[in-house]
């Protein structure tokens, strides 16, 4: 940390929603010397107070409105379920607060465009909490691919699959809260493929649906006019050890063991394998927290590592895949 950073007052975070990820990311916010957990809000005041006690948060509120109007909150972390992100991000932005919005940023590209437009109109910082983008091995993989060491990138394969016990009310299966493998898990391998290939010309999707109508598995093939391809898999009903592979004309890059927070990176060229690994302290969200701190201190309203136009474009891919799979959210009808 530089002298300027250490002498700057900590960024005061307000956590909107007191569920699972709020606690996990909240711990890494609290652990950052440049940040402090100033406040938390839940729909239920007692739940918020319990969260505050457990995680050492200074203030708790029984409504999200109170959090976003707290003058001593510098940035709001929207940690609710996907279907609520649009409403809650707008609530914070309209109250003049910068936002970090959990993935998936919104349910669909239409909602995302609205949030991005409001953030830009208010000149407020806004970012999807796509923590994968800040992982040092993902960034190294991007540098290696751009350097030409593996030749021209011709294909990407990526997967994030995890078995969840079927429960129609669980957020992975309940359409009312944005259930489905694609938005919860598939957004990571989709982002991974995007980082190396950009916007595809063709998206083809196949998969299976849960009894609720949410996507249980989703297999995407992407095609490009110049012959490049991607295969992007996600499943909420079976696990897989596969993470990410970027294939070039003279080598490949593989990340493991999970695509969204890799701990190993192998670069294979004619010279052999070069293997690197990384251990990130805490729960792995520290680099994302540091990027939010950096942007806020620098007065940047968008992170160059997580451009909002890419967040929208990735949701457009997921919209198209859901259309082909026949997965509709109530918000899609708006």
Ligand X SMILES: NC(=O)c1ccc[n+]([C@@H]2O[C@H](COP(=O)([O-])OP(=O)(O)OC[C@H]3O[C@@H](n4cnc5c(N)ncnc54)[C@H](OP(=O)(O)O)[C@@H]3O)[C@@H](O)[C@H]2O)c1
Interacting residues toward ligand X by CB under 6 A: 17-22, 42-43, 47, 79-82, 84, 102-103, 129, 131, 171, 177, 184
Q: Closest distance between ligand X and the C-beta of residue 272, in Å?
A: 34
Of 17 and 248, nearer to ligand X (C-beta) is 17
**Contact present, 117 and 207 (Cβ < 8 Å):** no
Of 34 and 180, nearer to ligand X (C-beta) is 180
Q: Closest distance between ligand X and the C-beta of residue 150, in Å?
A: 28
Of the candidates 89, 16, 86, the residue with the CA atom closest to the CA atom of residue 51: 16
Of 172 and 230, nearer to ligand X (C-beta) is 172
**Cα–Cα separations (whole angstroms), residue 33 to 2, 25, 76:** 12, 15, 18
Q: Closest distance between ligand X and the C-beta of residue 324, in Å?
A: 22
Residue sitting closest to ligand X (CB): 19
Distance from C-alpha of 295 to C-alpha of 304, rounded to nearest angstrom:
9
In this structure, are strands 59-61 and 99-101 parallel, antiparallel, or unpaired?
Answer: unpaired
97 is catalytic: no
Q: Specify the DSSP class assigned to residue 130.
A: -
Of the residues 85, 88, 103, 260, which is catalytic? 103
Of 157 and 171, nearer to ligand X (C-beta) is 171
Q: Which positions ≥6 away from 111 have C-beta within 8 Å? A: 85, 86, 331
**Dihedral angle, C-alpha 118, 122, 125, 131, nearest 10 °:** 0
Q: Specify the DSSP class assigned to residue 144.
A: H
Q: Closest distance between ligand X and the C-beta of residue 168, in Å?
A: 14
Give the containing element (helix H, strand E) for 309. Answer: helix 308-325
Active site residues: 103
């Amino acid at each position: 940390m530089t002298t300027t950073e250490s002498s700057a007052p900590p960024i005061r975070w307000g956590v909107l929603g007191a569920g699972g990820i709020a606690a996990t990311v909240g711990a890494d916010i609290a652990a950052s010397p440049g940040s402090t957990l100033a406040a938390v809000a839940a729909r239920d005041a007692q739940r918020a107070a319990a969260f505050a006690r457990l995680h050492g948060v200074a203030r708790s509120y029984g409504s999200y409105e109170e959090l976003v109007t707290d003058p001593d909150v510098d940035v709001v972390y929207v940690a609710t379920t996907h279907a609520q992100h649009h409403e809650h991000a707008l609530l914070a932005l309209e109250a003049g607060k910068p936002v970090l919005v959990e993935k998936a940023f919104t349910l669909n590209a239409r909602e995302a465009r609205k949030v991005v437009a409001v953030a830009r109109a208010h000149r407020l910082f806004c970012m999807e909490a796509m923590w994968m983008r800040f992982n040092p091995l993902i960034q190294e993989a991007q540098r290696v691919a751009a350097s030409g060491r593996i030749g021209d990138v011709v294909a990407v394969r990526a997967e994030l699959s995890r078995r969840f016990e079927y429960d129609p009310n669980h957020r992975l299966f309940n359409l009312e809260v944005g259930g489905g493998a694609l938005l919860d898990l598939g957004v990571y391998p989709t982002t991974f493929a995007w980082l190396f290939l950009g916007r595809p010309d063709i998206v083809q999707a196949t998969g299976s649906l849960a009894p609720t109508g949410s996507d249980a598995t989703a297999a995407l093939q992407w095609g490009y006019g110049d012959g490049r391809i991607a295969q992007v898999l996600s499943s909420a009903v079976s696990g897989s050890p596969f993470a990410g592979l970027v294939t070039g004309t003279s080598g490949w890059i593989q990340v493991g063991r999970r695509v969204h927070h890799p701990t190993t990176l192998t670069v294979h060229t004619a010279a052999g394998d070069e293997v690197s690994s990384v251990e990130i302290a805490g729960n792995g969200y520290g680099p994302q927290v540091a990027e939010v701190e950096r942007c806020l201190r620098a007065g940047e309203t968008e992170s160059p590592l997580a451009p909002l136009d890419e967040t929208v474009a990735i949701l457009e891919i997921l919209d198209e895949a859901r259309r082909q799979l026949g997965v509709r959210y109530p918000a899609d009808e708006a």
